[in-house]
Amino acid sequence: MRKSIYFTSLLLTASLGSIFTGCFSGSDAPEIEKGTALFDNFTYQGKDRFYEQNPLPDAQSFYTPILPGWYSDPSICTNGEGDYFLVTSTFTYFPGVPIFHSRDLVNWKQVGHVLSRPSQLVNMLGQHVSGGIFAPAISYNPHNKTYYMITTNVGAGNFYVKTQDPFGEWSDPIRVPEVGGIDPSIFFDDDGKAYVVNNDEAPDFKAEYDGHRTIRVQEFDWKNDKMVGPRKILVNKGVHPEEKPIWIEGPHMYKINGKYYLMDAEGGTSVNHSEVIFRSDSPWGPFKAWDKNPILTQRHLDPNRPNPITCAGHADIIQASEGDWWGVFLACRPLDNRFENLGRETFLMPVKWSEDGFPYFTQGDEVIPMIQRREGVTRNQDVTFGNFSVEEEFTDTILGMQWMTLRGPATDLYSLTRTPGYLTLKCAPISTRERQVPAFVSRRIQHHEFMAETRMYFNPENETERAGLLLFKDERHQLFMSVGQTEAGRTISLTKVSGEEEHVIVSNSLPEETTCFDLQVVSEGHTFEFFYSTDKGETWKNLATGIDASHLSTAIAGGFTGTTVALYATSK
């Protein structure tokens, strides 16, 4: 039941009309406070043709990416008792680092955020949207039954947090200033010792070329929460140093059948991305590269192949309770191998083993399939992948886990209790072009083809106040469908932010008394269309069509995030 219908029923039965004011000719509109916008609902619907044209053949099959849309740098762990946990990067979005839980590796549910408090996310103000939290790595220490998540905050260095209840709160950050660089991860050995491996500077800080990095190791005293002993370089440059490989990073260490494996990403996070593997008899090395590296890449395949998956790498592997091996990694799905707005997504694949004892995902010309299967596992109806719809009525007192703000909680700029049943946003004197905390509540775009829609109540009183639906890539790449006031009267406009400039693509006049607006964006993949209604969806008007979607893509904008769709208000 739609909330507006529910409120109308209340009006008829309880005579609550005194709490509402008129919305054009209706009587079920909320009271709109000065300088605020009220959002009644939000609907997101995925409509990707791939899923429509390729239905899953049986209940044991599933689509990958298992987390479509911008869920990059995945890391996974298990407690050995059938629980699996997965985390991904969030950069400068708040809360930080979503955590997902599964009992079978196929059906995942978000259970919270690892970094849910401002005290865990410091120095976010002033950072570019692709700054902040890089590559979280989650590990389980069986010796004290504690989960650890270690990561990089670009503005504050490397740190970790821990908990014995991954469904609850995590500790405040514990800094590890001895660990430089980025992408740290913790390995807990079966003898009770632990180690941190990470991407770091070239030897003696003397890089021979751009992208020259090393993988280093240091012992971690988990009993006293500190690093101890010397730091040692395990890998310099990469698998083939003579070829000057770039960006050896994202390391994870494992002990399997008495051998130590060091797995790393290599080649940068664009189309040359790959995953490589080394092996040793000791966590201190020496580590020898497998002669059939890389163990995962798609960089050599025909770029014109159908449904290309590119940029694959930054992986983490795990042995399931049943004994089989699986891995998660990031990759992209560019439309026609040109661009995508989804960012780097989380894929899941079975891990195979070579005759000489090395794990791998792909070899030769093997492609990453978008349909996988795990025997003995039944897919639930409530899944994180494929086409799905989400409806939000804002009837709770806290935002759902899918919603994010920028650089901080923004609780002084939005409310779910000020007008119950609505998301209230203040028209703050802050713009999403600034590296601050705007009145901005967003969720990830998770499909090439989608529809996003909201109903907004708004009565702008001056020419600085605007509110509406925002497609946001970063501070310099945005599309904003908003209602505002000009000298000529009330308008609905589509504004494009491009670099340091912003300009109005189109602007339509609205009846001056209108305060209720349905706003809708439809993505056809390559282009966006924008629609609006002033009669509660009875009739829709086209505001703009054929808007180039590549403006919000990583191919144009760069950066490490995908596009989000936001409810946004400003007086800047």
- For residues 163 and 85, what is the distance between their CA atoms, to the nearest angstrom? 13
pLDDT for 1 equals 36
- Cβ pair 175, 158 in contact under 8 A: yes
Q: What is the DSSP letter of 551?
A: G
Q: What is the pLDDT of residue 29?
A: 80
Q: How many CB atoms lie within 10 A of CB 321?
A: 14
- Strand 226-236, strand 182-188: pairing: unpaired
Residue pointed to by tokens 């020496």: 286
CA–CA separation, 406 and 91 (whole Å): 9
| Model confidence at 4: pLDDT above 50 | no
Q: What is the pTM of this model?
A: 0.94
40 catalytic per annotation:
no
Arithmetic mean of pLDDT, 95-110: 98
Q: Which CATH number fits domain 49-373: 3.30.565.10, 3.40.47.10, 3.40.50.1370, 2.115.10.20?
A: 2.115.10.20
* The CATH number of domain 3-47+387-570 is 2.60.120.200: yes
Among all chains, which residue has been given the structure tokens 């990830």? 444
HSE on the CB side for 348, CA within 13 Å? 27
Q: What is the DSSP letter of 339?
A: B
CA gap 250, 75 in Å, rounded: 10
pLDDT band at residue 381 under the 50/70/90 scheme: confident
Does 49-373 match 3-47+387-570 at the fold level? no
Q: Please pick, among 73, 183, 219, 474, the residue that the annotation labels catalytic.
A: 73
Q: How far apart are CA 476 and CA 415, in angstroms?
A: 27
Interval 317-339 mean pLDDT: 96
423 forms beta bridges with 39
Is the predicted pLDDT of residue 11 greater than 80, yes or no?
A: no
The whole-number average pLDDT for the span 35-41 is 97
Q: How confident is the model at residue 26 (pLDDT cuts 50, 70, 90)?
A: very low
Nearest alpha-carbon partner for 346 in 33, 83, 150, 76: 76
- Backbone φ and ψ for 241, nearest 5 degrees, come out as -55, -30
Residues 332 and 72: their CA atoms lie apart, in Å, by 10
CB distance 187 to 194 below 8 Å = yes
Beta carbons of 250 and 183 less than 8 angstroms apart: yes
Q: What CA–CA distance (Å, rounded) separates 365 from 360?
A: 13
Both tokens of 142, joined, read 């069986």
**Of 6-10, 135-139, 151-155, 260-264, where does mean pLDDT reach its minimum?**
6-10
Give the rounded distance of the alpha carbon of 89 from its chain centre.
Answer: 6
Q: Measured between alpha carbons, how far is 366 from 69 in angstroms, rounded to an integer?
A: 23
> pLDDT over 70 for what percent of the chain?
95
Which of 123, 115, 116 is closest to 151 using CA atoms? 115
From the candidates 28, 249, 266, 453, which is the catalytic residue?
249
What lies within 8 Å, CB to CB, of 243 at 6+ separation is: none
Exposure pattern of 137-155 as b/e (b: 16+ CB <10 Å)? Answer: bbbbbeeeebbbbbbbbbb
Q: Record the tokens describing residue 489, joined without a space.
A: 């009267």
Structural domain boundaries in the chain: 3-47+387-570, 49-373
pLDDT of residue 8: 33
Amino acid letter, residue 445: I
Do the strands 477-486 and 75-78 form a parallel or antiparallel pair, or are they unpaired? unpaired
Q: What are phi and psi of 349, to 5 degrees?
A: -145, 150
Evaluate if residue 7 carries a pLDDT over 70: no
pLDDT in tens, 165-213: 999 999 999 999 999 999 999 999 999 999 999 999 999 999 999 999 9
> Does residue 249 have an active-site annotation?
yes
- pLDDT tens-digit map of 489-543: 999 999 999 999 999 999 999 998 899 999 999 999 999 999 999 999 999 999 9
Residue 407 has pLDDT above 50, yes or no: yes
249-256 and 259-266 as β-strands: parallel, antiparallel, unpaired?
antiparallel
Q: Residue 554 in contact with residue 343, Cβ under 8 Å?
A: yes
pLDDT tens per residue, range 354-377: 999 999 999 999 999 999 999 999
463-476 tens-digit pLDDT: 999 999 999 999 99
Query: Dihedral of CA 326/329/334/340: which sign?
Result: positive
Residue 112: both structure tokens together: 């919270």
CA 228 remoteness from chain centre: 34
Inter-residue contact 259 to 266 (CB < 8 Å): no
Mean pLDDT, rounded, for 262-283:
97
CB-count exposure of residue 343 (10 Å: 0-12, 13-18, 19+): buried
CA dist 134 and 392 (Å) reads 29
Q: Give the model's pLDDT for residue 193.
A: 98
- Counting residues of the chain whose pLDDT is more than 90, the rounded percentage is 92
Place of tokens 């902040």: 132
| 536 in Cβ contact with 28 (< 8 Å) | no
